[in-house]
């Protein structure tokens, strides 16, 4: 293990508040001597320490667990959601840039109508909450459950459900999509619950309510581009979108709803 360092040029989106227009600021001096072993967020920590030293406002960005599971972090890095390694921003390490000979890095917040910028690189993802609140659950109150093993579930279905359930709600799929669509996010939850016997009772209602909410809060439609899945740190596949579309048609017919698939 060596401590090879890199000198970077960062172009960072700075925006004082949701009401300001914002713009790129270039940092060179603050981004010198970056160790290749740093994570991307540690690199930003170092830049921020230098900014504070110079009495300048540090760059605001969301982050929490820094181990790739909480879904709080997320940046557009050189135009790619979470950067070039198909992982979360916190798990992206600077050696990836070193290996690819990249020293110029542009950092932006997620860009989507439904994710307004709050400050600098921080966005408001409350629209995701509203989609889950519209039906992303099984209506079972505490205490009313039967014995856990009273309901066998084929391993294949449980595993497939787990693939969808592994979504961390980071929003990279929306940020990567030219239509800012939330189809992958929404379908991952619908697929997770719809693949399990517990989720059948509310299956039709769920898909109608969640898809309606998704449209209502300002996400775009899906045009099968696949960027969402290509950047998804949990590698959730497009088949979840296909499955959701099938469920939507089924539910629309069953419920006589005029919702377009």
Partner 1 sequence: MAVETKDKVGVRRTTEYTAVTLESQVPAGPIEKRWDEHRFKMKLVNPANKRKYTVIVVGSGLAGGAAAATMGELGYNVKCFCYQDSPRRAHSIAAQGGINAAKNYRNDGDSIYRLFYDTVKGGDFRSRESNVYRLAQVSVDIIDQCVAQGVPFAREYGGLLDNRSFGGAQVSRTFYARGQTGQQLLLGAYQSLSRQIAAGKVEMHTRSEMIDLIVIDGQARGIVTRDMLTGKIESHLADAVVLGTGGYGNVFYLSTNAKGCNTTAIWRAHRRGAFFANPCFTQIHPTCIPAAGDYQSKLTLMSESLRNDGRIWVPRKQGDKRRASEIPEGERDYYLEERYPSFGNLVPRDVASRNAKYVCDEGRGVGDTGLGVYLDFADAIKRLGKQAIFERYGNLFDMYARITGEDPYEVPMRIYPAIHYTMGGLWVDYNLMSTIPGLFVIGEANFSDHGANRLGASALMQGLADGYFILPYTIGNYLAQAKLPKVSTDHPACREVEVEVETRMKRLLSINGKRSVDSFHRELGDIMWNNCGMSRNEAGLKQALKRIPEIRSEFWENVRVLGKNEELNQSLEKASRVADFMELAELLCLDALERRESCGGHFREESQIDGEAKRDDENFSYAAAWEYSGNVSRPNLHKEPLIFEYVIPSQRSYK
Q: What residues from 196 to 255 belong to the interface with partner 1 (CB under 8 A)?
A: 196, 198-199
User: Rule CB under 8 A: is residue 25 a binding residue for partner 1?
Assistant: no
* Neighbour-count burial for 201-235, b at 16+ CB within 10 Å, e otherwise: ebbbebbbbbbebbeebebbebeeeebbbebbbbe
Least spacing, CB of residue 184 vs partner 1, in Å: 16
CA angle 86, 107, 216 (to 5 degrees): 75
Among 29, 100, 101, 142, the residue binding partner 1 under the rule CB under 8 A is 142
Query: Nearest-CA neighbor of 160 among 102, 64, 93, 237?
Result: 237
Q: How far apart are the C-alpha atoms of 192 and 59, rounded to whole Å?
A: 36
User: Rule CB under 8 A: is residue 8 a binding residue for partner 1?
Assistant: no
Least spacing, CB of residue 139 vs partner 1, in Å: 6
Helix, strand, coil % over all residues of the chain, rounded to 5: 40, 15, 50
User: Rule CB under 8 A: is residue 136 a binding residue for partner 1?
Assistant: yes
Among 11, 14, 22, 38, the residue binding partner 1 under the rule CB under 8 A is 38
Quick one: which segment of 75-83, 131-139, 174-182, 250-258 binds partner 1 (CB under 8 A)? 131-139
Quick one: which segment of 22-30, 101-109, 127-135, 235-243 binds partner 1 (CB under 8 A)? 127-135
Quick one: which segment of 19-27, 126-134, 216-224, 238-246 binds partner 1 (CB under 8 A)? 126-134
Least spacing, CB of residue 104 vs partner 1, in Å: 21
Among 8, 10, 36, 97, the residue binding partner 1 under the rule CB under 8 A is 36
Quick one: which segment of 119-127, 172-180, 244-252, 253-261 binds partner 1 (CB under 8 A)? 119-127
**Cα separation of the two ends of the chain:** 53
* Chain residues 58-87 in contact with partner 1, contact rule CB under 8 A: 58, 60, 62-72, 85, 87
Please state, as a whole number, how many other Cβ atoms lie within 10 Å of the Cβ of residue 123: 23
What are residue 189's phi and psi, to 5 degrees?
A: -70, -40
């Amino acid at each position: 293990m060596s401590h090879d360092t890199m000198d970077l040029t960062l172009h960072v989106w700075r925006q004082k508040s949701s009401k300001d227009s914002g713009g790129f600021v270039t940092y060179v001096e603050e981004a010198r001597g970056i160790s290749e072993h740093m994570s991307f967020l540690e690199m930003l920590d170092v830049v921020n320490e230098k900014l504070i030293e110079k009495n300048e406002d540090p760059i605001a960005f969301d982050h929490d667990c820094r181990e790739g599971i909480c879904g709080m972090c997320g940046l557009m890095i050189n135009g790619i959601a979470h950067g070039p390694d198909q992982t979360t921003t916190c798990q992206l390490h600077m050696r990836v840039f070193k290996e690819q000979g990249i020293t110029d890095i542009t950092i932006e917040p997620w860009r989507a109508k439904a994710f307004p910028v709050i400050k600098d690189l921080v966005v408001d993802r409350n629209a995701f909450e509203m989609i889950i609140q519209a039906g992303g659950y099984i209506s079972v109150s505490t205490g009313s459950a039967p014995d856990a093993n009273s309901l066998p579930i084929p391993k294949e279905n449980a595993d497939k459900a787990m693939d969808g359930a592994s979504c961390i709600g980071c929003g990279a799929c929306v940020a990567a999509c030219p239509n800012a669509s939330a189809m992958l996010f929404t379908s991952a939850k619908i697929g997770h619950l719809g693949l399990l016997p517990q989720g059948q009772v509310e299956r039709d209602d769920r898909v109608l309510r969640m898809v309606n909410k998704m449209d209502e809060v300002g996400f775009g439609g899906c045009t099968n581009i696949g960027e969402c899945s290509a950047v998804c740190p949990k590698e959730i596949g497009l088949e979840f979108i296909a499955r959701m579309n099938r469920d939507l048609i089924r539910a629309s017919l069953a419920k006589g709803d005029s919702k377009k698939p």
